[in-house]
Amino acid sequence: MKFAELHSHLYGCLTAEELLEIGKKNPSPRWQIYNDLHEKLYSERVPTENFFQKYGNIDSFKGIYNNTKRGNFLEFQLKFNLVIALVKYDIDEIRTVAKNVSLRYFNEGSLFNEFRIMFSPYAQKQEYEEKTIAACEGFAEVSNIGTSRLIVSLHRDGDYHTQYRWLKELSIKNKLVQEYLVGIDFCSIEEGFPPEEKSNFFKEVLKDNLGDPTNAYSILYHVGESFSDKTPHSACRWVIESSKLGAHRLGHCIALGVPTGLFLGKVVNEDVEERRKYLKFIIENYFTIRDCGEFPGLTIFEKFLKNLEFQTGIVPVKIDQKVCIELETVQNFGLKVLRSNNTVIETCPTSNMVIAGLDPENLPIKKFIKYDVPLTVGSDDPGILDTNLKKEYGLLNEIGIKEEEIDKIRLNSPNFSSEILSGRKKNPKK
């Protein structure tokens, strides 16, 4: 059985065995990156002077590397910080990791893959260029076996306009990079970074794509995965907005597909400005949303908005049965918007269970399938999560998704590659 991987972070693919070997050879691990977050979570720092004496065998190392605690994004981030701490992240290592991870995927039956890589928030142009080239060289070394492509993840709070320009200039002058670098991504913590902030940037990328299809980049965007600072309703609005802004593929979109009853009885403290934006969104789209399911009257939302006119700070939002019904209708509307815009959802089942703490029966993929949105399945960080694409598709079978639906997702996934969505290549199905 053949697969295509469209949502995977290159260094998150490192198995425990691979990372342990890399770490032991690194004379200067960046322990502070790991320990700062460890202290924040557990109020203590891990002694590092004898780290490999304590965790030097694979079983003990797996105990701190493979993520088993569910429902805590920062707990997952701690595992990724361990990766960052132990790797050198120099050009030789990046080249080797790109090659070896590609080979592993090929051997597992995934013959087309897109891998994401992120550089330091302090990285300058030379580092962007050298490390991008190194990853492309690693992919090229094994291109006789299968196809790997590179996505560069940009920092949500960084100078992404400038970094994007560095990458475009590199693509234009370097044929290897032009072939292998096919998109940009925004990932990691999404709280505090509304999609609307990227509106002008998305326009810039999409305009460049039309003007120079040979060097076109896809826009990939993690959204609706983690929303501790807002209601799931507002998280849905963020997903919808990302689609309308022109993102080609959206990572996770959990808010748009989970059973609404999971939120019943909760009280969410939301910033008043975020709440106002949600209410304005509902009022502006009211009649279209109302056609998607049971929904309160328009005057109710207008009254809520009026009551917040002079309020500041935080608004507590109690999620009762009526608010759950409202959420389900907003979800329905959002999925119709994504389907209409041909926006692809990248869903990652194991990641959603571990990071978001979802039980298998509550995975959002069921609703995504019901609404027939363009869909692909990814393994996200398979090294940390101890999974692979074969296991991800097997999980779909276990939760009762029909074989024909699973095959449809698997077979359609190559048609959602960055090169096709950005306009570099034509979709062979069209």
The pLDDT tens digits of the residues spanning 192-217 come to 999 999 999 999 999 999 999 999 99
Token pair of 390, please?
A: 């074969």
Mean confidence (pLDDT) of the chain: 97
Strands (E) located in 304-383: 314-318, 344-347, 375-377
pLDDT of residue 344: 99
pLDDT of residue 186: 98
Q: Report, as an integer, the average pLDDT of 281-307.
A: 98
Separation CA 100–CA 88 (nearest Å): 16
pLDDT of residue 381: 97
Separation CA 212–CA 361 (nearest Å): 44
Q: Which fold has domain 3-10+87-421?
A: TIM Barrel (3.20.20)
The pLDDT tens digits of the residues spanning 134-193 come to 999 999 999 999 999 999 999 999 999 999 999 999 999 999 999 999 999 999 889 999
**Which pLDDT band holds residue 71 (cuts at 50, 70, 90)?**
confident
Burial annotation 155-174 (CB, 10 A radius, 16+ → b, else e): bbebebeebbebbbebbeeb
The pLDDT tens digits of the residues spanning 77-116 come to 999 999 999 999 999 999 999 999 999 999 999 999 999 9
Lowest mean pLDDT among 263-277, 358-372, 416-430: 416-430
The pLDDT tens digits of the residues spanning 13-47 come to 999 999 999 999 999 999 999 999 999 999 999 99
Task: Please determine, for residue 70, whether its predicted confidence score (pLDDT) is greater than 90.
Answer: no
pLDDT of residue 73: 83
Domain regions of the chain by residue span = 3-10+87-421, 27-85
Separation CA 270–CA 235 (nearest Å): 11
The pLDDT tens digits of the residues spanning 231-243 come to 999 999 999 999 9
Task: Please determine, for residue 251, whether its predicted confidence score (pLDDT) is greater than 80.
Answer: yes
pLDDT of residue 40: 96
Q: What percent of the chain has pLDDT over 70?
A: 99
Task: Please determine, for residue 429, whether its predicted confidence score (pLDDT) is greater than 80.
Answer: no
pLDDT of residue 430: 61
DSSP 390-423: HHHHHHHHHTT--HHHHHHHHHHGGGG-HHHHTT
